[in-house]
Amino acid sequence: MRYLVKARVKPGKEQALLRAIEDGRLGRGSVADDEYLWDMQQARMAHDGTAHWVEVCFCRIPFEEERPYWEEYFDLISVCSECDCTRRLEEKLQSSGESFLTRLRSEA
């Protein structure tokens, strides 16, 4: 299942998030493992400062396993499962906003 995630980096967590991404620690210990790093590479920054990405999740309850890993760095605004979260949505995200990771690096 795919979910559209909208989240905002918690104040003061920008540097820690960037380090976790760059040294490959983000998501370590999760069954999803490298998916977190892929998500951040694909994430887009909206004009309102929220990061958007498509999360692949196989949990019975959406985001059940991933939530603690993301909530260490992000305030989750929404996890939308009632949308057409297909490859088309991922392609649409790539053409909107700017790269989240590039923006995070420039602000660090």
Whose CA is closest to 49, among 14, 90, 80?
14
Q: Rounded mean pLDDT of 77-99? A: 74
Better-scored residue on pLDDT, 55 or 38: 38
Residue 78 one-letter amino acid = S
Q: Rounded mean pLDDT of 59-65? A: 75
Q: Detail the DSSP E strand segments found in 10-73.
A: 44-45, 51-56
Q: What is the pLDDT of residue 97?
A: 80
Q: Chain-wide mean pLDDT for the chain?
A: 86
Q: Is the confidence at residue 85, as pLDDT, over 70?
A: no
Q: What is the pLDDT of residue 86?
A: 60
